Chain A
Amino acid sequence: MGTKDINISIKELETELGQIRDLKFSVGRLVQESWTEPQGPTPFPSITALRGWDMTLLKRYRPFYMPFCDLCCLCTFGKCDLTGDKKGACGITMSGQQSRIVLLAACIGAATHTSHARELVTHLISEFGEDEPLDPGGLSIEVEAPNIRLVCGVKPETLGDLEQVLDYAEEQINALLASTHTGQEGNPLDLESKVLHAGMIDHVSMEVADIAQISAYRLPKADPEAALVDIGFGAVDTEKPVILVIGHNVPPAVEIMDFMQDNDLAGDIEVTGICCTAIDMSRYSPRAKIIGPISWQIRYIRSGIPDIIVVDEQCIRTDVLDEARLQKIPVIATSEKNCLGLPDRTRDPADAIVADFINGSADGAFILDPEKVGEIAVRTAMQIAPHRKRQKVPRSLEEGIEEAKKCTQCRLCRRACPNDLHIPDAIKAFARGDPGMLSDIYDSCVGCIRCEQACQQDIKIHSLITLAAEGKLRDESFKLRAGRGAIQDIEIRQVGGPIVLGEIPGIVAFVGCANYPGGGQELAEMAIEFANRRYIVCTSGCAAMTIGMYRNEDGKSPYEIYPGNFEAGGIVNVGSCVSNAHISGAAIKIASVFARRNLRGNYQEIADYVHNRVGAVGVAWGAMSQKAASIASGFWRLGIPVIVGPHGTKYRRMLLGRSDHEEDWYVYDARTGEEVYVGPVPEHLFVAAETKEEAMVMIAKLCMRPNDTSRGRALKLTHYIDLHRRLIGAMPGDIHRFVRTGADIPITMKEEILRILDEKGWKETVIPDPTLIARQKTEQQP
């Protein structure tokens, strides 16, 4: 796209004017561009540039606050009680404070991905050069960076081009964060608008990170047939030395694998991973093994299987070093954002560090050189493994039962458990020699070990759970389709027909963390249900792993049963957290692929298009992190609804539509300029579901859009009604709001629905060319 910092100096110049000496030119950026698309109205939008669009959304989807904490303790005036209609010392209201905390969370999330992307891009440029071309999908992809094109109005072509995008993202997050200072933004809606801005920036940064690593590391390029890789505790060959990497930023893991490759050790060592680094390294080499999502950190470390642990950044337990010490596993920290208190040994020779690990004089090191990390991790694992294997004493069931007998049934563990699991009863049964109940708890345990923190007898409750479920753990061996990266433009073209002809009812993205209310199985069941119903199912990150950790009666994981194509009934694993940008990117590309809308710097128009036309829903069933908050915010700004599980209510507010407020559900018909009632589609922008059943009904409902063709709407209604009847046990009470014309009625339910419509006094409306933007309406008129 361009060249940076050009300086021209001319010593002497003869011109008609006379002689010029020491003429110097500095050009910040010389841009040679082949992109002819006209620039839209908001390239590199400031934090208020899209405020108008945000307010349009927020007017319809009003924040509904659920304070997780009634106080504000951010400045020394406080703590301030904000309950009732009280204001804080600075004047802030409860709703303002809740939005402010949401904005803080979204800033943390966006900053995390942006910083991740920056580290990655800097590293990749140093390794591959700034001219390394970006190529996320070869010939199948025309729009290589939909989020960047849309938001920034630039078309990045090389790794170096991404730096300018990150400059922008960093500046924006800085400004957003500043807005949360005491005595700044206090209006809840303005704060919410900034939340949406943070989310949009987050998707830009995620896209930067993923297209950079796909291009430089040659990860699968929009490949629906990416390799099937191993996932699960039981997939690890414990006879071999085992390396564990945890985190999200893949360069150290890549260097580990490269070092093994270069030294012919590829088959000799097991490289295992937890969280997104695991996903990304399995995209780099299908030999890498994934243990599972975040919940597996404690249980895997305590198993003593890893011989060395390498951590990078994000979602790593902060007590990883304490846990590792107990198992005598050395730990290498590799990110400036997560030093673990370890000594900086970046400049020490590898030999010295390896020796210190082997002789036990060091239990960890902070090393900022991925290549050195690769060497040290592999050499240490090779040398340390034989000793550790000899020393490992597996805990016996008897030993565990003795520990369980210490339990006084104070029940503090159950109170501390986020999922209210019946731990005291299970421990009691275990103490009597029955591991069954404790083993059942394993299925729903998120591995947070809050129970152990609460236990006054210092019982290692989590260890007892995994002991009771040892057989299950050993049996955890599944297949996951390695993250494929982006969705091909061609795949999008192929599903256009089936969507308008009413053959594909919607797109569901199961994303986010693993803080599941009832274990991961529910997520896999949801994904399977919607794939069977021929929705397009996308997934990423922890959710993608969880879906893989499920087996049908034939012993197959969903990735072995359902294709990885972006098509009806496909289960599409795009990759790690940062790959979520491909899901938003696919929605954005639809506007370009079908309507040939310009993406360049044209956020509002495209978000309006996506919101009114693309029947996509995000489900973050176990959302836990601040990153999940910012990822969701990025989807909201595009008008894509997100459903969270019950723990998601702790994000402090929902964005709920009011289906009973008829005036909220009018759009402009771009054909006629008239305002048309379209019903509550989609009904909410952010909503929590209590149970899997509620979530599934909500997914089907939130796939409806004002532009649905009648055949499309009939199919969407069919699934909504069918799921509602099966899972809730009755006809939904709001069918009349979703039928626009007689042709929308699912043919097999015609009589019944006509009767309902009659009772509700339903009136036929038209299917408009929908937009929420007044300008669109007038522009498209003759």
Chain B
Amino acid sequence: MFEGIPADVGLVHEGERIRRNDMQVELGGPQVNEKFELVRLKPPEDIEQGAIHIIGPDLADLEEGKSYPFGILVEIAGSELEENLEGVIERRIHEYCNYIEGLMHLNQRYDIWIRISKKSFKKGFTSLRYIGQVMQELFKNELPIIETIQITFFTDPERVGEQYKEALSIYEARDARARGLTDEDVEVFYGCALCQSFAPTHVCVVTPQRYANCGAISWFDGRAAARIDPKGPIFPIEKGECVDSLLGEYTGVNESAKERSMGEVDRVYLYSGFGYPHTSCGCFEGIAFYIPEVEGYGIVHRGFRDLAVNGLPFSTMADSTAGGRQIDGFHGISIEYMRSQKFMQGDGGYEAVVWIPKEIKDRLADYIPAPIYEAIATEDDATTIDDLKAFLLAHNHPVVQRWAEEEEVKEPSRMPVLTAGEIPITTGGFRILLKNARVYADKVIIQPVQPKKPGRGESS
């Protein structure tokens, strides 16, 4: 595949770091302002299949040890392609470049940072053309939906500058389009069964407004993956009829859940933590946990090392959340989903959120509606339910209205753990019969003192 390339190409080189002393040249990176990589969908007639252009000096002509403005423009065409997929395809550039031994590629878009090692340069990796060849080969093999492709590298500072400006406006437009895309705008959601390798009954439903729980797969990613590998673990779900737009129940999602979970789950509310909540595997980024005392949700993320406001650490709540089950009030989520307009909308959205660790609250400052922002507590404001109640009252959090009538706390009626018509007790010559005995206990567990005898406890 890569016979003509004077460097090894393979997944094993991913993650290779090239230190300044070992680098031949640096393309992009923190020393230069103008750099970009961009994938654009074009009509096939505008593409010269297989062409690789280099605008400006090639690697061999660049001075050793210096940094240069740099741009990569990949133009593609294909009948299955759509503009929506540009971003996903663009991220492959990072992956593919890193497969090349002696090439380090970091970041994406207008922030790329590439280094070529002296060692590979000396071995003959002296032209950007090789990078282009590797990329074309990999795009062709991995993404057959790309029918024609041409790649242009820019090192001429002036041309980089022009292209850079254009790229910025394209990124912006792309982001605006992505942010504006709602679940109502599309007919197809995506299911991701990657986690089924460890959690066999869990399937994530990925919609434009609900990221996968792991935070790693967007609707666009799902769309691209499903087209590229139709038999793969990411598959389209025709969303069907909307049963409840507030809770996010769709007939197509329900059918898909039923089929994929082997009947375990047959209804899913995409935007609620109650009733039929979306299931969780094990790698969710955060948990929305219901706090009955204040009738609101707390959020805790994986990186939070203290007890959450309900007195439980992430690890304990995660234990209640995970495993592909529908658990009322324990809901695995991604941080990205918290930026969605539909975040928990079935339960009131942010109006139902009462506590978020500071780190996450800060990160979400632009997404939490302004009026409620100040009324949501962090660990700095409340570490216990009592603190939290006081804080919510003081900040007039919307949940406070729900408490209008404090319910009387009734002594729970004690149920006997054991009732029996007759219990005989034999002791030192006596036989005692306890008739209609009722035994009350907080908890009773009966266990033999001695481990089981051989043969018992055998599995069938």
Measured CB to CB, the residues of A under 8 A from B are 2, 15, 17, 20, 22-25, 28-29, 31-34, 41-50, 52-53, 139-143, 167-168, 171, 175, 488-490, 492-494, 496-497, 499-501, 533-534, 569, 590, 592-597, 601, 604, 613, 670-671, 707-712, 714-715, 718-719, 722, 741, 743, 746-752, 767, 769, 775, 780-782
Contacts and interface: CB of A to CB of B under 8 A. Distances in A.
Nearest to B427: A23
Contacts of A533: 12
B302 A493 contact: yes
A768 B283 CA distance: 21
Contacts of A671: 200, 262
Contacts of A490: 302, 314-315, 318
B459 interface: yes
Contact of A24 (B283, B323, B428, B458): B428
A401 to B, nearest CB: 45
Contacts of B197: 500, 613, 707-709, 712, 767
Closest 3 CB pairs of A and B: A596-B323, A782-B263, A28-B449
A222 B241 CA distance: 49
Given A20-B430, A140-B313, A594-B198, A46 B453 contact: yes
Contact of A743 (B15, B229, B263): B229
A747 B12 CA distance: 12
A50 B459 contact: yes
Given A32-B443, A141-B315, A671-B262, A595 B451 contact: no
A614 B232 CA distance: 21
Contacts of B433: 17
Interface in B375-431: 427-428, 430
A553 to B, nearest CB: 13
B263 to A, nearest CB: 3
Given A22-B428, A46-B457, A595 B199 contact: yes
Contact of A497 (B216, B263, B323, B442): B216
B133 interface: no
A297 to B, nearest CB: 38
A709 B459 contact: no
Contacts of A712: 197
B370 interface: no
Contacts of B284: 493
Contacts of A595: 198-201, 282, 322-324
14 contacts: A139-B307, A139-B314, A140-B315, A142-B315, A489-B318, A497-B283, A593-B282, A604-B459, A671-B200, A710-B229, A722-B10, A752-B1, A769-B200, A775-B460
B44 to A, nearest CB: 24
Interface of B: 1-2, 9-12, 14-15, 99, 138, 141-142, 194-201, 214, 216, 229, 231-233, 262-263, 281-284, 302, 305-307, 313-316, 318-319, 322-325, 427-428, 430, 432-433, 442-443, 445-460
Given A23-B432, A496-B281, 9 more contacts: A42-B457, A48-B458, A49-B455, A49-B456, A139-B314, A140-B315, A596-B319, A710-B229, A743-B229
Nearest to A715: B11
B282 to A, nearest CB: 3
A43 B452 contact: yes
Contact of A501 (B216, B262, B324, B459): B216
Nearest to A753: B1
A639 to B, nearest CB: 15
Contact of B15 (A23, A493, A534): A534
Contacts of A670: 200, 262
Nearest to B134: A748
A12 B263 CA distance: 60
A338 B433 CA distance: 56
Contact of A53 (B216, B318, B445, B459): B459
A562 to B, nearest CB: 13
Contacts of A31: 445-447
- Among A23, A493, A711, A767, max chain B CB count under 10 A is at A493
B233 A722 contact: no
Contact of B460 (A41, A596, A714, A715): A41
Contact of A718 (B12, B142, B428): B12
Contacts of A43: 452, 457
A521 B281 CA distance: 41
Nearest to B233: A709
B326 to A, nearest CB: 12
